[in-house]
Structures are given as C-alpha cells and as structure tokens.
Amino acid sequence: MSEELATVLYLSGELSKPVLLEGNPGVGKTSAAATLAKSMDTKLVRLQCYEGLDVNNAIYEWNYQKQLLHIKLNEKGEQQARIEKEIFGREYLLERPLLQSISHEEGPVVLLIDEIDRADEEFEAFLLEILSEYQISIPELGTITAKHIPRVILTSNRTRELSDALKRRCLYHWLDYPDQSAEELIINKSIPGIDQALTKKMVSMIRSIRGLRLQKTPGIAESIDWARTLVLLGQHDISKETLKKTLGVILKSQEDFAFVVDEWLEKEG
Amino acid sequence: MKTAEINIGEVTARSVIDFVNALREEGLIIGPGEVKEILQGLATGLVGRRSDFKCCLKSLCCGSRKDLPVFERLFEMFWQIQSNGVGSKTKVKVKDEQQKSSLIFLGHKKGQWGESEEEDSRSVSGASKVERLRKTDFSHVERVDAALLEEIAAQLFKQMEHRLKRRLKYSARGSVLNMGRTLRKSISKGGWPTEMVFQRKRPARRKLIVLLDISGSMDKYSHYLLRFVITLRKLFKNIEAFTFSTQLDRITPFLNEKGQKEIYNRMSQNLNSWSGGTRIGECLEVFNEKYSREVLTGSSVVLVFSDGLETGEVVHLEKALMHIKRRSRHLIWLNPLKGMKGYQPVQRGMATALPHLDYFMSAHNLDSLLKLENILINV
C-alpha cells in the first residue's frame, strides 16, 4: 500500500470521515478495504451497489415470513397487542449491510460501499444522511445509533460523476496502478517462492501492456493470475511463445489479443 | 520542485485558509467544515513532513480526479511562497486569463445573409409564418426571423420536454405490490401470502450520449442543435455531451442556460483548428479511448449530430463507429444536410458511417428535430 493511501486511511480514522477511492478497474480499490479490515482485525461489511438498489436491500427488511408464522402460531390467543409488539422486535429484523455496520457491538467494522456510482442518485442522497449521522431510524423500533462509528470506504469506477455533497463528506483518493517495485512486492506476497527474475520481467511486461491502447487494461488480479499460470507451467523466462500461449490470462478481448500479438509483439521482438 | 520540510510554525490557520481560498477561486468546492477538519487533521501531527501535509490537504480539498492537477499546481506555488517567507498575506493569483466570449461562432455576421437565401426561405410553403419557420432550414433563416425562430424553438422544445416528462414519469413508477400474483401464489400456502410479489421496478432511464459536430461546415446549425441538447439535458439525467471538430471536448458540466456561454467560450478557443476541417473519426477514437469505458454501457443511446464531411482517414471513422455500435443500444446519426433537396449520403465519411447506424435522420429544421422525440420516448 502506498504511503499516501496509508495516510488517507489514517486520517479517515482520526476525523471519522469516509474515504472515497476512485481508480481504473483492477487497481485494488476493493482489496484496500479488505486489507484495512484485516489490519484492524475486524469484520468487513460489504455493500455492493447496483442500479435499482433500494432501502430493503441496503439497510433492513422485516422478516415477513417469520412474522406471519408467529401470528399463525398464536392465532388462538387474544393478546393482539403483545403479538404486534413481538413481531416488530429485533429478531424479526433482517439486517442488511448498512444496519449491520452500525449495530455491530464489538468495535468498529470496515464498511465497504462498492461501486457507489452504479447506485441511483436517490440512494446516494439517502446514503449521505447515514454517513453524516451514523444512525438509522426504523419506525417500529426507534432510532439505532452507532455504538462505534464504522470505517467507511466508498469505491467508484467513475461511470457517472458523484454528487458534490457526497464528495464533500469524503476524503478523496485517486488510486493508480502500482509502480514496478510495488507490484513485484504484491506478486511475491501472493505467490511465495516465485522466481525473482521472472517476477521482474513479467511485471515490466504487464506494465508496458497497460500503456497500450486496449479496450480492457489488465489489472493487478490479472498479473497475479498470470504469475500463477507461469509458475504452474514451470516457466523461468517469458519467451514469445509462452506469452502468446498465456496471453488469454491477461487480455479478455479478441481485439486486444490481436493487437498485442500482431503489433506489439512484432515491434518488441 | 521544492521539497524542503515545512516548518510547523509557519503553517497557521490563517495560511491554510488563504490556501483554501485560492483553491476556491479555481472552482474547487470546499466548505468551512472541511477547513475545520483540515486543521483537526493537522493537529494530529501530520505537518512534520511535506508529503503527509500535502496528502492531508489533498484528500480533504479534492473531490474528483480533475481537481488533482489544480491542487498540485497551487500547492507547489503557495507553500513555496509561504516557506520563502513572503508572508501569508500574499495572495496567489493564478486564475487563467479570462477568455473572451466570441460571437464568431454563431455565424450571424452582418451581411452574410444573401438575397438568394432570403428568396429561398420565402419560397417554402406553409400556412403561417410560424409554420413556415418550423420547416425552414436553419441555415436559411433570415436575420429578421432569427429572433422569432428562437422563440418558437424555445416554445416547441418546452412542449416536447413536457410531453416526454409526463410519459417518462408514468412509466417509471417504483415497486408496488402486485396483489393478483401475490394472491395466486398464496393458494399453495393455504391462503397465506408468505411470498409477496412486487411489480418490478422499471430499469432507470438509459444513458444518452450526444456528440455534436461544431466544425465550420456546421456553424449555422450548431447553435440550434446546442439549444436542443440543452433541452434534452433537462429530460435525461444521464446525459453526456461532447463537441468535436478537430478536437473532442466534454461539455456535460455546462449543459444549462448559464453554461451556454461557457460552451461558446470553449468553442471559440477551438476556432483556430477550423481550417483543419473535421476529423470525425479521430475525435470519435479519442472519445472511445478516454470516455467510452465510463459512459457507454450496453444500453446507452448515442446521438451524433454531424454533416459527415470527414477530412481525415475514413478507416478511423469506421473503426470508431463499430466500437460505439457494439457498446450501445442505438446509434443515431442526425445530418442537417439530409434536409437538402437531392442530398445523397455519398461523401466518403457519410457513406462509411451509414452501414453502422440504427437511424439516419435529418436535423436541418425544428420539425426534423422534433421527430427525434418518437425515438427518445422509447429510450
């Protein structure tokens, strides 16, 4: 993790402000949150955003079936008021990620709100409210306030511009592809015992492939996959043939494939 | 660049505020709350090293990637001055020289409206003046009629906005309980509605992407087309607009009445490149490279307003269009020349583009623009 990102994460803890991570797909935005959770030795609660994400799926929902069952079982009894009170208790509540992260008892959790740009603008506005108050009100239960303010990380792939209000609530960090040595380090960590020379060579290759005009630029996950493939095949060096054979691991489109094989490989020799 | 350590004593609340003010002048949005947090952050001991100090300021002041270069530039300037001991009161003036708004763009220069053109627009048949103007080619509008046309355009666009809004609103109702299905499903559960069925929420409106040709050959049309695009902006939350001639420029942030001037400003900056002709293909390639990944989802609708007079290589155009077509739902090309009598899309550019289009329409007068409504309603 770069020093800058570390500083931003540190600051977010000090100021209890969410972090907004932006960057190209595959630069490790999501794993930054996972790493933070691991280093804090706490739970990672993840909310994956998508078009049409609503309150039911993000915050809470009543366990409707269980409530019905409870009513059915107590049909003979006359204490209606008691039953009504019971079925709107905590055990009939299905906690979705946002509520989970707030109601967690033991210490703060890391809340990852992934790809916030995919959610509707309405949801974004709603999120704003939660991120500033860290409390959720449920009409039947009352307001639940966070015991420990969760560490919030939002990621965005920039498919749309986020609202200024949301951006203002967050610390901003643009995450770029790691540099040569950082990526080597990542690969060495993910695949212990890999040949150092091989790592060096493949990282520099993948970095120059990233510089090409491709439709889908390979991310860090691709380079780890590639390293794994090369180790599996028992390669110690990357020849032209090997590259051609294993290119499918890093490139996911026919045009990119053709482009790299025809133009780049010819030129590079 | 200077990398000297920053003396903690020099970083006062005052100097931070001055710095924030300089950033605000460059258009960054920073509220008083952020200033407070910056000072809080600095109080945790991040002032010692320049990189930490910078990082703290950066993460709190910037809100998107485009803010970063502005920040970098100002940071280096400001804190260098500060550590040189010029004093915190020195105001950093870095605002770019204001570009003068240019009127050349509209092509409404005096004396350009020849007699023959006047004749032309008069000869268009129609019951009333309004009716006639609706059918008049934008490039043939007399100067005296220009004001009236503006008015009609405003009116018609407003009506269209109203119609579209109503229909879109009706179809975009949220999720509601589907009573019939819920009851039907409950039969197998002994009449207990354990599973509720909801009407599926209609997927959000598709993205609309507008690519507007502002090259010299289009200048008579681009003004009205731009107005049209601004109307579309009110209807489609998800709109992205670009102008192109020899360069591509993203104008989405300025798509409102206020921003119109800014768009003209930006266009006039590109004026020098007019003599170079239109490089549609290359501009679209730049679009593909820089923006398509962000703005083109499989369901987007792409509108290209251009006369298709390509001066670059058509290979680029074909490749770029194929790319766009594959990543969008509809690719619609609106060509003002199509309204001309006897126009055939035989120029290299247009002929290359045709096979890849879903719709090829004209855009030479108000009526032709309004026809687009029928397609947009299904977007």
Helix H or strand E encompassing A43: none
**Structure ipTM over 0.85, yes or no:** no
Q: Which residue of A has its CA nearest to B60?
A: A171
Q: How far is CA B374 from CA A14, A167, B367, in A?
A: 54, 37, 12
- The answer to whether the CB atoms of B62 and A172 lie below 8 A apart is yes
Domain B208-376 has CATH 3.40.50.410: yes
Dist CA B345 CA B343 (whole Å): 7
How many CB atoms are closer than 10 A to CB B52? 22
Q: Which residue of B has its CA nearest to A216?
A: B293
Residue to mutate among A21, A54, A215, A259, with most B CBs inside 10 A, is A215
Percentage of chain A surpassing pLDDT 90? 34
Q: Express each pLDDT in A38-74 by its tens digit.
A: 999 999 999 999 877 877 788 888 888 888 888 888 8
CA-based nearest residue to A150, from A251, A38, A10, A17 = A17
Q: Which residues of chain B have pLDDT under 50?
A: 1-5, 8, 85-126, 169-174, 275
Higher pLDDT, B92 or A143: A143
Nearest to B59 among A121, A158, A172 (CB): A172
3-state class (DSSP) for residue A148? coil
Chain A within 8 Å of B318 (Cβ-Cβ)? no
Residues A190 and A160 in one domain: no
- The answer to whether the CB atoms of B55 and A4 lie below 8 A apart is yes
pLDDT value, residue A8: 92
Residue A168 has pLDDT above 90, yes or no: no
Residues A129 and A53 in one domain: yes
Query: Are A250 and A225 in contact, with CB atoms under 8 Å apart?
Result: yes
Dist CA B220 CA B227 (whole Å): 13
Establish if A170 belongs to a structural domain: yes
Give me the mean pLDDT over the A163-189 stretch.
90
Residues A223 and A258 in one domain: yes
Q: Which residue of B has its CA nearest to A122?
A: B204
Question: What is the DSSP secondary-structure string of B104-160?
Answer: GGG---TT-S-HHHHHHHHHS--SSHHHHHHHS-GGG--HHHHHHHHHHHHHHHHHH
Residue that is last in its domain, among A112, A145, A174: A174
Residues A136 and A250 in one domain: no
- The answer to whether the CB atoms of A7 and B56 lie below 8 A apart is yes
**At residue A259, what are phi and psi to the nearest 5 degrees?**
-60, -50
Residues A164 and A259 in one domain: no
Give me the mean pLDDT over the A189-196 stretch.
89
Residues A169 and A184 in one domain: no
How many CB atoms are closer than 10 A to CB B330? 19
Residue that is last in its domain, among A174, A195, A223: A174
Residues A106 and A234 in one domain: no
Instruction: Please identify which residue in the block is written with the tokens 């009333």.
Output: B128
Residues A161 and A216 in one domain: no
Q: What domain count does chain A have?
A: 2
The bridge status of strand B239-244 relative to strand B248-250 is antiparallel
A-contacting residues in B 329-348 (Cβ below 8 Å): none
Query: What residues in A contact B64, CB-CB < 8 Å?
Result: 22, 161-162, 167, 172
Residue that is last in its domain, among A145, A174, A203: A174
Domain-by-domain residue ranges, chain B?
A: 8-83, 109-174, 175-202, 208-376
pLDDT value, residue B169: 45
Query: Which residue range forms the structural domain that includes residue A146?
Result: 3-59+96-174
Dist CA A244 CA A27 (whole Å): 24
Q: Express each pLDDT in A90-134 by its tens digit.
A: 889 999 999 999 888 888 999 999 999 888 777 888 888 888 888
Chain A within 8 Å of B190 (Cβ-Cβ)? no
pLDDT value, residue B199: 65
Instruction: Please identify which residue in the block is written with the tokens 């107590």.
Output: A74
Q: A173 to chain B nearest CA, in Å?
A: 6
Residues A11 and A140 in one domain: yes
Burial (CB count within 10 angstroms: exposed 0-12, middle 13-18, buried 19+), residue B224: buried
Residues A156 and A30 in one domain: yes
Dist CA B70 CA A115 (whole Å): 26
pLDDT value, residue B94: 38
Nearest to B63 among A3, A160, A164 (CB): A164
Residue A154 has pLDDT above 90, yes or no: yes
Establish if A146 belongs to a structural domain: yes
Q: A264 to chain B nearest CA, in Å?
A: 18
Query: Are B308 and B347 in contact, with CB atoms under 8 Å apart?
Result: yes
pLDDT value, residue A46: 94
pLDDT value, residue A180: 92
- The answer to whether the CB atoms of A168 and B31 lie below 8 A apart is yes
Query: In sequence order, what E strands does chain A have?
Result: 19-22, 44-48, 60-62, 93-95, 110-114, 135-138, 142-145, 151-156, 171-174
Residues A133 and A219 in one domain: no
**Is pTM beyond 0.90 here?**
no
Query: What residues in A contact B68, CB-CB < 8 Å?
Result: 174
Dist CA B112 CA B220 (whole Å): 11
- Between chain A and chain B, the number of residue pairs with CB atoms below 8 A apart is 80
Establish if A81 belongs to a structural domain: no
Instruction: Order across the sheet with B301-305: list the strands.
Output: B248-250, B239-244, B208-213, B301-305, B330-335, B359-362
Helix H or strand E encompassing B243: strand B239-244
pLDDT value, residue A162: 83
| CATH code of the domain covering residue A36 | 3.40.50.300
Assigned token pair, B106: 């509209």
